[in-house]
A and B are shown apart, each in its own frame.
Chain A
C-alpha cells in the first residue's frame, strides 16, 4: 500500500484538537496545572515548534544515537582508559553523574506534565518526545557509571545522591523541584526548556564535552554529547510558549525568566565552575568558566530574550560580577568541607594553576589567595585538623548554598555578608539580594528547610559533625578527600634548613 507523503498528514497529526463535550475544559486543563493566566484560549492555536519530527524519524534517529554511544562504551570497556584518567577529572564525572542522572528522571515528569496539560496539541506532541528523550538520558546517565561502581564506590552516587540529604543535593533538589514539579506547565516551559535547557545545559554538556575529550574521557564526552543533541531539540518547546506569553503577559514572562536564570546561575557556579577552573587538568582546559559563561550564556541569552522583546534581568550587573567570584568561593567551600561531598575535589591551586587563575581572574589572589595560603601552610606543617571543618557554613534560604559565596572577601560591591529578612517573627538569611527577592515573591511555594535549619530544629541527631555526615549518607568509603593527596601544596613547603 502506498504511504501518504509526510507533508500531507503531519500538520493534522501534530496539531489535532477538538471541542470537549462530555467534560468541562477547565476540568481537563485546570488553571493550577495549565497556567493560562491572562492568555486567551484561542491564542494557543499559534503555538508552532521550529523543529518538526515524526515518530518513525524520531525512533530511527534515537536508535542511531544509542548505538553510537553504547558501541564506544563497549569498545572502551576493554581498554585501560579509565585507569589512566586524571583523578581530578574523574571528580568532574562523579559530580555530574550524582547531580544530573536522576534530574534527567525528574525531567521525564516535567515533560509528561507538559504533554498532559499543555494547551496546544502541537506542544503536547513535542513534550512526548521530550519525555522519551529524558528517559533515555536517565538510562544512559545511570548505565555509564554503573560499570565503574566496582572500581570506585563514589560512582554509586549516580543513583544514590538524590536519595540522600547531602547538602548540595538538597540545593539541587530545591532548585529543580521549583523548576519542574511545583509550577504550572506554562511556567515549566519557560523555566526548563527555555531558560535552563537553552542556556545552562550548554555549559554542562558542551563545555564539559570539550574538556572531557581533552582529558581523555571519551566515554563521558560521548555520553553527554549524545544527550545534548536531544536537549537542543526539545528545548525548543520554550520559544513558542514564551512568544505567546510575552504577547499576553510580558511581566509574568520576564519574572519567570529572571528568577530561573538567577537560581540556575547559582547552581552552575558550584556544578560547573569548579569543574572547569579547578578539577580539569591545567593542560586540558579549553576556556575558563568565566570565558565560557560570557560567550555561551551571557551574550547568547541576552540576545535571545531581546528577540522576544524582554529586558535584561534586574540583577544583570551582579550576575556578571559574580563570574569573577562565585565559583571560586564555592570551590573553596567544597574543598574545605570536602568530607560532605561524594567526589574528591582537586585543590587546583598549585603554583602553575595559581598563575593561570591570576591570569584569568586578576583579583583572584587578593580575594582568595590569602585564604589558600593559610590552608597550604597547614597542609605543609601537617596540621590537617585545621583544614577540616568543625561546623557548617550558614546556608541561603533560597539557593541553599553557603552565605558569602555570592560575594568574596575584599570585594567592595559584593562583600561576604548575609542579606536577612524577618518574616512572621522568623529571620531568614540569603546569600544575595536577588535570592531574597525571589524568595519573597515565591515564598508560598518554597518549603525546603536548609541543612542549618534542620540541624537547629533537632532533625539531625546526634548534632555533631559525624552525625551530620551520617545524616547526609556519607560513609567513610565515599566521603570526599583531596584528589591528589595534597601533593599540589608541596611546592610551597619551605626548603629544609641545610
Chain B
C-alpha cells in the first residue's frame, strides 16, 4: 500500500453540514487580495458571519490583520451586518465584496533587511 504524506492542507468540508441552512457559493473578493475566491456561506448566516468566512480565507494569509470591522458590499451597496444572507438578496454565484470598515492606507515601502548583499 502506498504510504501517503501529510499535504499540510486542512481537509475542510466545503459542503455545508445538514440542517444549518442552505449553502450559497459566492464569488468573494476581499479588499487588497489578488484573486476572488469560492466561499460557501449559508443563507441563514448573518452578513457579519459571511464576512468572517470570507476574511478567514484571506486575512493573515495574504492580507495583514487589522483592528477594524468588516463591511460587505453587494450590488454596489453596503449590506447591514445583522441581516441574513437570504434577506440580503445574495444568491449562488453572486459577487460579494468584503473590506475593512476603515479605508486601507496606501502600502508603505516594504522593509528589506540590511544584510541582503548585492546582486549575484
Tell yes or no: B87 within 8 A of A by CB: no
- The chain A residue sitting closest to B63, CB to CB, is A374
Listed residue (B9, B33, B111) with the most chain A CB atoms within 10 angstroms of its CB = B9
From A387, A408, A429, contact of B34 by CB (8 A):
A408
- The chain A residue sitting closest to B94, CB to CB, is A427
A332 with B115: CB separation less than 8 A: no
A374 with B9: CB separation less than 8 A: no
From A356, A418, A469, contact of B29 by CB (8 A):
A418
* Chain A residues, CB < 8 A from B95: 417-418, 420, 429
Which A194-220 residues have a C-beta within 8 angstroms of B? none
From A351, A354, A370, A404, contact of B35 by CB (8 A):
A404
- Given A394-B38, A420-B95, A463-B15, A282–B8 Cβ distance below 8 Å? no
Tell yes or no: A339 within 8 A of B by CB: yes
Tell yes or no: B119 within 8 A of A by CB: yes
Q: Encode contact with B along A333-369: 1 for CB under 8 Å, 0 otherwise.
A: 1001001000000000001101110000000011011
A403 with B36: CB separation less than 8 A: yes
A329 with B34: CB separation less than 8 A: yes
A388 with B8: CB separation less than 8 A: yes
If over half of B's interface residues share one DSSP class (helix, strand or loop), that class is named, otherwise mixed; here it is loop
- Given A371-B34, A416-B35, A418-B29, A390–B10 Cβ distance below 8 Å? yes
B34 with A365: CB separation less than 8 A: no
* Chain B residues, CB < 8 A from A389: 9, 57
B38 with A455: CB separation less than 8 A: yes
Mark the stretch among A128-136, A293-301, A378-386 that contacts chain B: A378-386
* Chain B residues, CB < 8 A from A249: none
B107 with A333: CB separation less than 8 A: no
Which A443-471 residues have a C-beta within 8 angstroms of B? 452, 455-456, 462-467, 469
- Given A375-B62, A418-B95, A455-B38, A365–B107 Cβ distance below 8 Å? yes
- Given A403-B35, A404-B33, A456-B25, A476–B107 Cβ distance below 8 Å? no
B116 with A491: CB separation less than 8 A: yes
A366 with B112: CB separation less than 8 A: no
B116 with A392: CB separation less than 8 A: no
Q: How many Å from the CB of A218 to the closest CB on chain B?
A: 21
A491 with B14: CB separation less than 8 A: no
Measured CA separation A330–B35 after assembly (Å): 9
* Chain A residues, CB < 8 A from B57: 389-391
- The chain A residue sitting closest to B23, CB to CB, is A456
- The chain A residue sitting closest to B15, CB to CB, is A463
Tell yes or no: A160 within 8 A of B by CB: no
B35 with A386: CB separation less than 8 A: no
Listed residue (B92, B95, B109, B118) with the most chain A CB atoms within 10 angstroms of its CB = B95
B107 with A491: CB separation less than 8 A: no
* Chain B residues, CB < 8 A from A403: 27, 35-36
Measured CA separation A394–B35 after assembly (Å): 8
* Chain A residues, CB < 8 A from B119: 282-283, 352, 355-356
* Chain B residues, CB < 8 A from A333: 34-35
B107 with A370: CB separation less than 8 A: yes
Q: How many Å from the CB of B43 to the closest CB on chain A?
A: 15
From B4, B29, B34, B112, contact of A332 by CB (8 A):
B34
Residues of B in contact with A (beta carbons under 8 Å apart): 2, 4-5, 7-15, 25, 27, 29, 32-39, 56-57, 60-64, 92-95, 106-107, 109-113, 115-120
Q: Could you give 18 example pairs across A and B, Cβ below 8 Å? A: A333-B34, A352-B116, A365-B110, A370-B63, A374-B64, A386-B60, A390-B57, A391-B37, A391-B57, A393-B35, A410-B106, A429-B36, A455-B14, A455-B38, A456-B92, A463-B13, A476-B4, A491-B115
Additional A-B contact list (9), CB under 8 Å, known A371-B62, A429-B36, A464-B13: A366-B106, A373-B110, A385-B9, A390-B9, A408-B34, A409-B32, A409-B34, A410-B107, A455-B38
